[in-house]
Each structure stands twice: as C-alpha cells, then as structure tokens.
Amino acid sequence: MNTYYHQVTKAKNDAKNVAIAQSIIKHINEVQDLNLDHYLKTIGDVGYQIYLVDDEKIHKFYGGNYRVRDLPDSTVQKVLNGKIYHGMRDFPRETFVTGFFANYLSNTVGVPFQYHQKHYAMFLRPDIKLLFNEVHTIMGGWTLFMGIISLAAMLFFAKLLIRPITELTAATKRIARERFDTPLKIERKDEIGQLATSFNTMMGQLQENDLMRKEFISNVSHDFQSPLLNIQGYAGLLKSELTEEERHNYVAIIQNETHRLSTLTKQLLLLTSLDQAARRIERKEYSLDQQLKITIQKYRWWLEEEGINLSMTLEPTIFNGDAGLLENVWENLLTNAIKYNRSDGDIYVTLASSMKEVNVIIQDTGIGMNDVTKKQLFERFYRADESRSKEGTGLGLSIVEEIIHLHEGHIKVESELNKGTTFIISLPNL
C-alpha cells in the first residue's frame, strides 16, 4: 500500500489538488467585484487550508491551521514568478502513507494568480482533520473492534487446537492405568486427526495385547497347574503301600508329567524369544535337505514303533536362514504328523526350490481336522478335542508360524477329517 501510494496515488493527488486550486483562481478571474478575502474564507470553511502571499510578502491563512509552517521563501517567490508548486508530489517519503495526512505547509500545491494588478501565490491542501474526522473515528473504532474480534478468534481457535491435545493427554493417562476401552472421538482431517487415528489404532492394539497377555497367563497357569497336581497326587500315593506294578505305573505318570512340564517350559522360552521385537534371526547358508534328513532320522524309531511309512523327495537345496529356528519347525510338523497319524499310515515329505522361493510340504494320512480347528490351529494354547489325549501343549504350531513369519514366509494348511493333513511352507529364497 505504501509503495503504491508513493508510486501512483501521490502524483494523482497532487494533480487533483492543482486542478482544484486552478478552478478557484479561474472563479476569481471571472468575477469582477469578488471579495477575495470573503471568498477564500468560504473556501477554507468548506474544507481547505489556504496560505495566501502577495508580492509584498503579506500573507494570510484561511481554513484550518498548519501544524508545521515550513515553506521556504524561495518556494514562495517561484510561485509568485508564475511557477506551479507540486509540494504534495515532492513531499519526502514516509512509511505507511502518512505523507497523505502530514499537515505541513510544504505538503501543499501552490499556484500563482493576479488580482487587482497584484501578484499572489496561493498554497492549498485539503483540511484532513475537518474532512476525515468522522472517518478517523470510524477507522479507530473498526481497528479496536477488529483487534477484539481477532483476539477472541485467536483464543477460540487456540482452544479448538488445544482441546484434542488435552484429550490425547487424558487418553494417555488412561492407558497408563491400563484402560484401553475409551477411544478418542476426534474427527478431523489435519495432522491432529491423523495422530488421533494412529492413537486409536495403538490403543486397540494395546487392548488386544492386554487381552492376549491375560489369556496367555491364564492358559500358562492352567497348563502348569494340571501336571503339577498330577505329580503331587501320585507322589502322595507313592507313600502308601502299593504293589510293584502300581508303583511302577505311578512313577511312569510322574515322569510323563515332568516331561510335559519340561517341554512346555522350553516352548514358552522359545515363544518369548520369538516375541521380542528386537530379535533378529541369524541367517547363514546351509543345506536344507540335509537338515530335513537328519530330523527325519531322529524320529525313525517312532515311525517304526507306530508302523508309519515315510516317503521323502528332497531336492538338494542351499538355503539362507536360521538353521536352529527352522529345525524347530520341521520337528513340530513331523512329530504332529506322527502323533496324529493312524497305524500303518503314511507321511510324505517334499522339498522343492526355485530362484524365488523354497517349498516344504509335509503330508500325512492321519485323523485330519474340521474347518473350526483349521481356523484356530495357530492360536496359542489351542488344542482340539481329538488332540487333548495326545498331551500336547498347544504352542507348537504357534511357534512354527512365528518362525516362518520371521523368515518372511507363509504357511498354509489343508486338511479333511479322517483323510489327513498337509502343511505347505513357502520361504523366500534370499
């Protein structure tokens, strides 16, 4: 605004006031018996400040007073000599267009004229105080009003901005007290809305993790309590008078329950280590087909004991993975295939590899499972009714799935009741 005033408006304002002054002079020249003093006083009363000087340097003011009378005598003389004075146009630059309101005698326009054979110089400018006094009041009131409105709007929007942050703070405190059932109701599209959405997602995940943790503790307590009660009960019976056969049976039960506890403890420790977010698998290249052969060989006695036939088709494969973790996968799947197979059943183990992935298929002709069991198969501590008598822990397949996911692979199960089960493992060939 300031630049536009100095570059454009100031020159136009100067020219406009020169034209007004010349119009006044034209009227003076056209009227023969004009009372110059009365006429200029009238012009001053209607809103102009006039400074009149004759060739004898006698001067007079009409209209409002000038705050600063800084007009040089040389300027007055030039106008008396017939030149026009452009004081408004040439007034020194001031910021924020204050030059327009400067009540200086030098901030005028000056025009020469003759009256009754005398030369005069008339300097003129609008009486800003008279013409714009009401405008000043309105602008002052408007500025004050806008200031109040701006302050109120700032406080209002600041409160709108702070309110979701306050809600986030309160929600954080609720989470610290393990209360995950009160999601944030912040429906915004900006960054705070995105933060609230992420916070609700995190809260839902924490709630799910909390439920899983409580369920995990409950399941672990139950699975530990059952064999401990059996051990305690049968140990108490050993103190009584028993036959050798009864004593032998009770000792065998205690050994089985102890073995079950040992297996459960090992699986819990492994599952805990797999759950650690910071765990990084130790990849190295090794012969996957040899590992499968060694695993099968370890359980050859069990296969012979159950009378199960095992066929394997293993393509020589060098795989880059964590051999220790993957050994747990093959052992779990192979022992399940033996445990839930029928007498004189069959197991087929296939290993095939390509440039992109390695596929391991373990198929049995056992009891199979229904659709409900398949959906819950990889849940921790889940055991179908048929498997309860097999003394499983319900953690083996959860461990298998975790290890496969750590290797960025996936596992699929196909099964039909009384016809068998097939596990298909696909691992990326990195």
Tokens describing residue 345: 């059943």
User: Residue 388: pLDDT above 50?
Assistant: no
CATH fold, domain 2-131, is Beta-Lactamase (3.30.450)
Look at residue 308 in the predicted model and tell me its pLDDT.
93
Ranges of each domain in the chain: 2-131, 133-279, 284-428
Phi/psi for 188 (5° steps) reads -135, 160
* Rounded mean pLDDT, 12-25: 93
Contacts of 149 (CB under 8 A, 6+ apart): none
Look at residue 26 in the predicted model and tell me its pLDDT.
93
Look at residue 84 in the predicted model and tell me its pLDDT.
96
Look at residue 86 in the predicted model and tell me its pLDDT.
94
Q: Whats the size of the chain, residue-wise?
A: 430
More confident residue, 233 or 223: 233
Look at residue 105 in the predicted model and tell me its pLDDT.
93
Look at residue 261 in the predicted model and tell me its pLDDT.
78
User: Please, what is the Cα angle at 323 between 318 and 326, to 5 degrees?
Assistant: 105
- Greatest mean pLDDT among 41-55, 130-144, 161-175, 208-222: 41-55
**Rounded Cα distance, 398 and 385, in Å:** 18
**Rounded Cα distance, 84 and 80, in Å:** 9
**Residue corresponding to tokens 């306050």:** 166
CA atoms within 13 A of residue 22's CA, in its CB half-sphere: 11
Q: Is 104 exposed, middle or buried (0-12, 13-18, 19+ CB in 10 A)?
A: middle
> Which of 41-50, 176-185, 305-314 has the lowest average pLDDT?
176-185
- 334 near 295, Cβ under 8 Å? yes
Proportion of the chain above pLDDT 90, given as a percent: 39
Look at residue 94 in the predicted model and tell me its pLDDT.
60
* Rounded mean pLDDT, 295-310: 91
The CA distances from residue 196 to 172, 180, 190, 203, in Å, are 11, 14, 10, 10
**Rounded Cα distance, 201 and 352, in Å:** 40
Beta bridge partners, 349, equal: 312, 362
Superfamily of domain 284-428: Histidine kinase-like ATPase, C-terminal domain (3.30.565.10)
More confident residue, 292 or 170: 292
* Rounded mean pLDDT, 97-125: 88
More confident residue, 141 or 273: 141
Tokens describing residue 130: 């008279």
User: Residue 278: pLDDT above 70?
Assistant: no
User: Residue 296: pLDDT above 90?
Assistant: yes
Phi/psi for 52 (5° steps) reads -115, 130
**Rounded Cα distance, 219 and 213, in Å:** 10
Q: Is 351 exposed, middle or buried (0-12, 13-18, 19+ CB in 10 A)?
A: buried
Look at residue 382 in the predicted model and tell me its pLDDT.
63
User: Residue 159: pLDDT above 50?
Assistant: yes
Average pLDDT, the chain: 84
> Which of 72-81, 190-199, 331-340 has the lowest average pLDDT?
190-199
Look at residue 218 in the predicted model and tell me its pLDDT.
67
Look at residue 320 in the predicted model and tell me its pLDDT.
93
* Rounded mean pLDDT, 327-351: 91
Tokens describing residue 14: 């100067």
- 91 near 99, Cβ under 8 Å? yes
More confident residue, 39 or 429: 39
User: Residue 12: pLDDT above 70?
Assistant: yes
* Rounded mean pLDDT, 199-220: 75
User: Residue 390: pLDDT above 60?
Assistant: no
More confident residue, 19 or 250: 19
**Rounded Cα distance, 408 and 322, in Å:** 12
User: Residue 285: pLDDT above 80?
Assistant: yes
